[in-house]
Amino acid sequence: MLNLNFSKIFFAFCLATVFSACTKDDNFRPSDCNFLKTGNIWTYDRTENFIHRVFRRQITAEADSVFKITETIVGNAADTVYWFSEGGYLCAYKHGESKTDGRRIYKCNAQVGETWQSPDFLNRGLDIYLVLRNGVEINTFSGVFICSEIRIRHDYDIDVEYTYWSPVYGEVMRTGLVGLELTSTNL
C-alpha cells in the first residue's frame, strides 16, 4: 500500500513538472530579445590569430529601450556599443553614433533561408546575414545551448563568419577570423 501511494505521488510530481515546463515555454515569445536586461553579463573566450583572451559584455544601463553595452577585452580599454530591438531585429551602434545608425546584427525567430544585410562596424561595406539552421545544439564551456546558425558574409572581402544565437541567452559562439565562445553568463 505504501509503495502504491509513493508511486501515485511520484507520478503526480512528474506530471506537474511537465505541465509547469510547458506553461513556461508557451509564454515565451521568441520575437523578443529576452536577454536585454540591465546587469546581464556575458564572458567569452575570444580567439584572434591563435591568441586567447577574455572578452566581456555587460549591459550597464538602459534608457528608452536602448541598452548601453560595455565591451572589454582584458588588457584593453573598454568600448561602448548600444543595442536595441526594432522590428524583430537586434540592432547595434557604436559610441558617437545615433540610433539611426543601428545595424541589424540578429533577428529573433528568423526562419531558415531568411537573409538581411547591414553596414559593417568599420564602414568597409555590407555584412550579409543568412540563417542556415535553427535548433542547432552548441556545446560551450558554459553549457549546451539551442541556437540559430547564421552565416555572415562580407561584400568587401572573402572572410565568412558563423554566429550562433540563442533567443534566451544571446550570442553563444562565433567562428571566423575572430572567434567567441561563451564561458559564463549571469542569465
Q: What is the pLDDT of residue 32?
A: 61
Higher pLDDT, residue 81 or 20: 81
**Strands 170-175 and 160-166, how do they pair?**
antiparallel
Q: What is the pLDDT of residue 82?
A: 96
Among the ranges given (12-16, 66-70, 98-102, 156-160), the one the predictor scored with the smallest mean pLDDT? 12-16
Instruction: Please check whether residue 152 is in contact with residue 162, taking contact to mean a CB–CB distance below 8 angstroms.
Output: yes
Q: Name every residue whose Cβ is closer than 8 Å to that of residue 82 and which is 6 or more positions away in sequence.
A: 66, 67, 68, 69, 92, 93, 94, 95, 99, 102
Residue range 67-77: mean pLDDT, rounded: 93
Q: For the chain, what is the mean pLDDT? A: 83
Model's pTM, two decimal places?
Answer: 0.79
Q: What is the pLDDT of residue 122?
A: 77
Task: Compute the distance between CA of residue 56 and CA of residue 169 in angstroms, rounded to an integer.
Answer: 14
Q: What is the pLDDT of residues 124-156, one digit of tens each?
A: 889 999 999 999 999 999 999 999 999 999 888
Q: What is the pLDDT of residues 86-127, one digit of tens each?
A: 988 999 999 999 999 999 999 988 899 999 999 887 778 899
Task: Compute the distance between CA of residue 142 and CA of residue 185 in angstroms, rounded to an integer.
Answer: 8
Task: Compute the distance between CA of residue 103 and CA of residue 91 in angstroms, rounded to an integer.
Answer: 5
Residue range 26-49: mean pLDDT, rounded: 77
